[in-house]
């Protein structure tokens, strides 16, 4: 292993000269001479070295390069991914492939060069994909090609030299009103006034006063609530996903839609959050509705809900006992807003538009406004900041509850007792 002037290892065949230049040496083979070249940029030097090494490999040295990228991707997924990662991650890998299939699917992996992948990435940017989409897409393709190299199907991973655009390459984009919006007091009053006799009124109240994500709320079980300490444990989420593989790891002929409950993506999403008296009251009112559904339908309640076998204690279900999903909540939000807007004389530009995630935005904003400690807010809502997580480990439960009380004192709202106050 070559080393730099400070003694750090640089890799085989690379050293640093006294004048600061790096030297790369490619040793002679039967059909080529030893090469030696120099440069001050180590990364560029390595790229040049790797490119030359790849160009020296002859096709007959790689007996399996006739496999197409499409076939290799399927084999890579079946061998290294299916059954080892969550279905949501499998879906994301498949989505990454789908974005690239037009460029790659019928090409042989042995024929693919660095330029092909660089053109692919540039094309993704050109057709409008954001950096947050392009980066994981390239990551999946890069992993796939690296395993091809590890298995000696190709001599070298051609993705290694590909560069992604930096943030500075993008023009600043002004956030839309929807991205930065939080609900005003007037919008909150309008919404809950219209939702007062709606089946899901308690759910929207809980979202507004806990900051829960819709998927987290839909995955809750009654056993997750500690009535004595008035806290709730958040450690799973409900999603509707597209499945490309069956439970045995076999590729499906046609993708299917499936509702599943799984662990959250971020560790910080696994948390305990305090509940106010009003939120506990909302849970109790919802339980009465669910018990009423069960009584009316008796053995037919939940018969079609496969998730009840594993999660028999689900809190939020439909009248017939099926899973309540984030899509259901979005549709109900839209329906309530349509009712409000139909009876409103205001212009279209001022019509109310609410989706479930806005309740989370509003909760976070109101927590800060109430004077809560910012780090405590992040802990309650499950934000994933590593430096904050280190700080959180020193917080005691009593401190968190004390800070949360600032919010309840600030709001002092009880949706369900308003009629009694009149």
The correct answer on CATH 3.30.160 for the domain covering 1-56 is yes
- Map residue 239 onto helix, strand or coil: strand
Architecture of the domain made up of 64-165: Orthogonal Bundle (1.10)
411 in Cβ contact with 370 (< 8 Å): yes
Fold of 180-416: hpI Integrase; Chain A (1.10.443)
Question: What sign results for the dihedral spanned by CA atoms 91, 96, 98, 99?
Answer: positive
Sorted by where each begins, the domain ranges of the chain are 1-56, 64-165, 180-416
Length of the chain: 422
**What is the predicted pLDDT for the residue at 93?**
94
- Measured CA to CA, the distance from residue 323 to residue 28 in angstroms comes to 66
Look at phi and psi of residue 22 and say left if phi exceeds 0, alpha if psi is from -120 to 50, else beta.
Answer: beta
The H or E element that residue 273 is part of is strand 271-274
pTM exceeding the 0.75 threshold for the entire prediction: no
pLDDT score at 345? 61
Q: At what angle do helices 87-104 and 131-150 cross, to 10 degrees?
A: 80
Contacts of 350 (CB under 8 A, 6+ apart): none
Q: What is the pLDDT along the chain (422 residues), one digit of tens a residue?
A: 677 888 787 777 788 888 888 888 876 665 566 778 788 888 887 877 777 766 665 544 444 568 999 999 999 998 899 888 888 889 999 999 999 998 888 899 999 999 999 999 999 999 999 998 999 999 999 999 999 999 889 988 999 889 988 654 444 444 444 444 788 888 999 999 999 889 999 999 999 999 999 999 999 999 999 999 999 999 999 998 888 887 777 778 888 888 999 988 778 789 999 999 999 999 999 999 999 999 999 999 999 999 999 999 999 999 999 999 999 999 999 999 999 988 876 554 568 889 999 999 889 888 888 888 888 888 888 886 534 333 333 445 666 677 788 788 777 655 455 545 55
Predicted pLDDT of residue 169: 43
Closest CA to 157 of 1, 53, 15: 53
Local structure of residue 172 (DSSP, 8 states)? P
Helices (H) and strands (E) in the chain, counts: 16, 10
């Amino acid at each position: 292993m070559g080393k730099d002037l400070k003694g750090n290892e640089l890799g085989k065949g690379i050293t640093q000269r006294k004048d600061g230049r790096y030297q790369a040496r490619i040793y002679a083979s039967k059909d080529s001479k030893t090469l030696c070249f120099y440069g001050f940029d180590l990364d560029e030097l390595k790229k040049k070295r790797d490119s030359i090494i790849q160009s020296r490999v002859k096709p007959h040295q790689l007996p399996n390069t006739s496999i197409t990228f499409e076939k290799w991707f399927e084999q890579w997924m079946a061998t290294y991914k299916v059954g080892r990662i969550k279905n949501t991650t499998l879906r994301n890998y498949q989505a990454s492939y789908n974005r690239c299939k037009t460029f790659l699917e019928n090409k042989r992996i042995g024929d693919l060069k660095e330029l092909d992948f660089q053109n692919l990435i540039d094309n993704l940017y050109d057709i409008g994909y954001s950096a947050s989409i392009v980066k994981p897409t390239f990551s999946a393709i890069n992993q796939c090609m690296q395993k091809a190299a590890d298995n000696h199907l190709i001599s070298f991973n051609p993705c290694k030299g590909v560069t992604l655009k930096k943030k500075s390459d993008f023009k600043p984009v002004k956030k839309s009103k929807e991205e930065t919006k939080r609900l005003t007091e007037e919008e909150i009053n309008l919404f809950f006034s219209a939702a007062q006799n709606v089946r899901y009124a308690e759910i929207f109240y809980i979202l507004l006063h806990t900051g829960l994500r819709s998927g987290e709320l839909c995955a809750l079980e009654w056993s997750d609530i500690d009535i004595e300490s008035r806290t709730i444990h958040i450690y799973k989420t409900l999603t509707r996903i597209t499945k490309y593989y069956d439970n045995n790891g076999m590729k499906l002929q046609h993708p299917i839609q499936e509702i599943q409950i799984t662990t959250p993506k971020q560790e910080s999403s696994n948390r305990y959050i305090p509940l106010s008296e009003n939120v506990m009251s909302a849970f109790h009112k919802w339980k009465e509705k669910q018990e009423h559904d069960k009584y009316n339908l008796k053995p037919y309640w939940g018969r079609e809900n496969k998730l009840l076998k594993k999660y028999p204690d689900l809190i939020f279900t439909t009248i017939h006992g099926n899973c309540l999903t984030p899509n259901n909540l979005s549709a109900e939000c839209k329906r309530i807003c349509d009712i409000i807007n139909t009876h409103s004389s205001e212009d279209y530009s001022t019509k109310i538009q609410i989706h479930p995630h806005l309740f989370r935005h509003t909760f976070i904003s109101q927590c800060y406004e109430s004077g809560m400690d910012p780090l405590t807010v992040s802990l309650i809502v499950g934000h994933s900041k590593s430096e904050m997580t280190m700080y959180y480990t020193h917080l005691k439960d009593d401190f968190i509850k004390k800070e949360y009380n600032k919010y309840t004192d600030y709001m002092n709202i009880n949706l369900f007792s308003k009629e009694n106050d009149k």
